[in-house]
Amino acid sequence: MKKIFNFRNLLLCALTLPLAHIAHAEQGSRSGIVKGVVVTGANDYCGKAIWSFEDQGINATQIRQLGAYDAGGERANLLDADNCKSDTVLASFHDPVLSFDPPGPPGPITSEPDVRLQNIPLRDIPKVAGIFQGGTAGVRNFLGTATNTPVNPFPAISSAKEGDITFKDWSSAKGVLTYRCRADGTARVRVRMQNLIPNGVYSMWGIWKTPLPNGIFVDVPVAFGGVPNAIVPDSRGRVKFERDLAFCPGKETPDESTLLWVTAAYHSDSSLYAGVPDAANTTHTFVDKDGNAFDSNLGLMVHHEQLAFPINFTRSLLSE
């Protein structure tokens, strides 16, 4: 298989990708420095696919994970070139591709969640609350912030800042991933990021091309560096992540798997789900702002890739 992670492509992407992107990798991909790419979903930037993977032998799935808040609508508007603007308020969004039966053996990834969970500004996403709010049973509530609730210990509150998360806030994220592979095939990876959502809950993922038992290759998320893969930026949005890996990121593994990209995903519900992005098909109970309870699945609407680090890809699509 042709190795595509080379100096020429790195320079090309540095010129064509928005907001920073790849620096360099040494010959043979035994070490690399990769700048982060702001994304609005899996291989998605404002509704456009970011990379192609022809040389990796796969058509990686593009999934939108954010919408533009529509104050008068049931569902958020699609993020596209027209509304990816500084003042656009980001909201929960269910990409219909997740509910459709894709080609190949898998069925739909998840069913569509209740419409009451769609088009919610990210900081208002319901969260598992305190013991007096059904938290021990997994009930999720809309939480107030420390500045607009009583000083008593209950009800539970959110530590988030006041105000909505805008596209400007989201697109200000920056980061650099470095790795160095050892002679025994293992590697050390370091990721430093800034301007993430302050005090937000994130997790790190590797998106892999990997074979199913029937020989078909698919792209799947795997907890990067193992579980736990959690990170929490400080009050200024800064965080670092370090791991020892059993593989070299730039090289194919013995079963012909290839690491396509690494990503930092924001969890708008402030919860983590270990080895999966979220409990997409599990039914949860939610309580809306009026106190009404309803049941729904999450439908991958609380997992939002924000900063991606491309490792093995064919070319950038954003300049086309």
Q: Report pLDDT digits (tens) over 92-130.
A: 999 988 877 655 555 677 888 999 999 999 999 999 988
Question: Does the residue 307 lie in any domain?
Answer: yes
Q: Report pLDDT digits (tens) over 9-58.
A: 332 333 333 333 444 343 346 889 999 999 999 999 999 999 999 999 89
Question: Does the residue 146 lie in any domain?
Answer: yes
For the chain, the average pLDDT equals: 86
The pLDDT assigned to 142 comes to 87
Query: What is the span of the domain harbouring residue 169?
Result: 7-316
Question: Does the residue 260 lie in any domain?
Answer: yes
Distance CA 307, CA 152 (A): 37
Among positive and negative, which fits the CA dihedral 137, 292, 201, 79?
positive
Distance CA 259, CA 257 (A): 7
The pLDDT assigned to 143 comes to 85
**Percentage of the chain lying above the pLDDT 90 cut:** 63
Question: Does the residue 2 lie in any domain?
Answer: no
Which pTM value belongs to this model?
0.87
* Average pLDDT, integer, range 148-152: 68
Sheet of 41-42, strands arranged across: 48-49, 44-45, 41-42, 63-64
Q: What residues contact 134, with CB distance under 8 A and at least 6 apart?
A: 141, 285, 287
- Helix, strand, coil tally for the chain in percent (to 5): 10, 35, 55
Q: Report pLDDT digits (tens) over 218-276.
A: 899 999 999 999 999 999 999 999 999 999 999 999 999 999 999 999 999 999 998 88
Report the DSSP beta bridge partners of residue 239: 193
Question: Does the residue 131 lie in any domain?
Answer: yes
Distance CA 129, CA 122 (A): 16
* Average pLDDT, integer, range 154-173: 87
Question: Does the residue 1 lie in any domain?
Answer: no
Q: Report pLDDT digits (tens) over 169-188.
A: 999 999 999 999 999 999 99
* Average pLDDT, integer, range 132-143: 88
Sheet of 22-25, strands arranged across: 22-25, 31-35, 174-181, 187-194, 239-245
Question: Does the residue 102 lie in any domain?
Answer: yes
Question: Does the residue 195 lie in any domain?
Answer: yes
The pLDDT assigned to 70 comes to 97
Q: What phi and psi values does residue 252 have, to the nearest 5 degrees?
A: -75, 140
Q: What residues contact 59, with CB distance under 8 A and at least 6 apart?
A: 53
Question: Cα–Cα distances in Å, from 32 out to 163, 248, 268?
Answer: 38, 10, 31
Distance CA 53, CA 217 (A): 12
End-to-end CA distance of the chain: 25
Tokens of 251: 């090289």
User: What total number of domains does the chain contain?
Assistant: 1
Q: What is the DSSP string of 72-89?
A: T-SSPEEP-TTT--TTPB
